[in-house]
Every structure is written in structure tokens, then in C-alpha cells.
């Protein structure tokens, strides 16, 4: 079952967010560090308060996956106006993976985007996060732009 998150989900969402961030810190330690204390719960509470961002959760008993999404209207002089759905964060608990949760959650993101007049769903993913890259490819996402870097040591 996919539903909108409620405030009672904050402790579990903070834990899932912490797990995701720990994964990022493990695969890209030169970029990600682990904050202390209540940082993850504070960030989730802030999302509830901003009024523009939606959190969808996959939950039978408690949330075991989530997507943080935002509708963005693009209307600049050099581009045609459009509306897109941006996924800021997408995660499934490690012990709940490979059970269709991510697929169902992504399908709900697309449904939400369609209902809100979006022409695309976009996100950013670190290239070395190969599991996530492969999952997003299975969901139909293709590279739109590439951001390249060279490490200066």
C-alpha cells in the first residue's frame, strides 16, 4: 500500500533516511558525512512544514520505503514552460528490497506526477550507486544530462 506520509511516520522515516545516508557515506565518503543527533528527524519534520514537498510511503504496518517529491514549474525565457516532478529522495529499507516495494512506490510517483500535470519525473543519482542506477533504468529513466568531475588531490 502506498500512501502519503503522516507526522506519526517521522521516527521511521528518519531511520530510513539515516540508513540511506549511511549508504551514501559508505560509497562516497569524500562527499557524505554522517550528521549527529536529531538531524534526520529535523529534516523530515522540515519537509512536513514546507507545504510544497510530498512524502509518499510504502507501508503495510510501518513505512519500509519512501519518496520525497516536489512539483517544479519551469518557465524561463530560453526554455518552453513545463512542469516536472522532482524526486529529492527515494529509499527502500534494505531488508525490504526485491519485494516490489520500490516499483510500486515509483509507480505512485508517476501517477502523482501525471495527476499534477507534470511532463516528466526527474532525479539525481550518484553514478557509483550502481544498484540505484540499475533500478532507475528498470523504471524507464534515461540520462538527461551528465555532471562530470575530476578529483583534485
Each residue of 1-11: pLDDT tens digit?
Answer: 899 999 999 99
In this prediction, residues 94-122 reach a mean pLDDT of: 94
Asked whether the predicted pLDDT for residue 132 surpasses 90, the reply is: yes
Which DSSP string corresponds to 101-144?
HHHHHHHHHHHHHHHTT-SEEEE---TT-HHHHHHHHHTT---S
Asked whether the predicted pLDDT for residue 60 surpasses 80, the reply is: no
Angle at 70 between CA 82 and CA 107, to 5 degrees: 90
**Is this prediction's pTM over 0.75?**
yes
Q: Cell numbers of 130, please? A: 550502481
Percent of the chain with pLDDT over 90: 78
Amino acid at each position: 500500500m502506498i500512501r502519503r506520509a503522516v507526522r506519526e511516520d517521522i521516527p521511521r522515516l528518519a531511520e530510513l533516511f539515516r540508513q540511506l545516508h549511511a549508504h551514501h557515506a559508505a560509497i562516497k565518503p569524500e562527499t557524505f558525512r554522517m550528521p549527529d543527533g536529531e538531524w534526520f528527524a529535523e529534516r523530515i519534520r522540515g519537509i512536513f512544514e514546507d507545504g510544497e514537498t510530498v512524502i509518499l510511503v510504502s507501508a503495510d504496518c510501518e513505512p519500509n520505503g519512501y519518496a520525497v517529491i516536489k512539483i517544479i514549474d519551469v518557465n524561463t525565457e530560453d526554455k518552453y514552460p513545463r512542469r516536472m516532478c522532482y524526486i529529492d529522495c527515494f529509499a527502500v529499507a534494505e531488508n525490504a528490497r526485491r519485494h516490489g516495494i520500490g516499483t510500486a512506490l515509483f509507480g505512485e510517483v508517476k501517477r502523482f506526477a501525471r495527476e499534477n500535470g507534470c511532463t516528466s519525473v526527474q532525479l539525481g543519482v550518484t553514478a557509483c550507486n550502481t544498484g540505484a542506477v540499475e533500478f532507475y533504468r528498470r523504471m524507464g529513466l534515461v540520462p538527461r544530462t551528465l555532471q562530470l568531475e575530476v578529483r583534485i588531490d
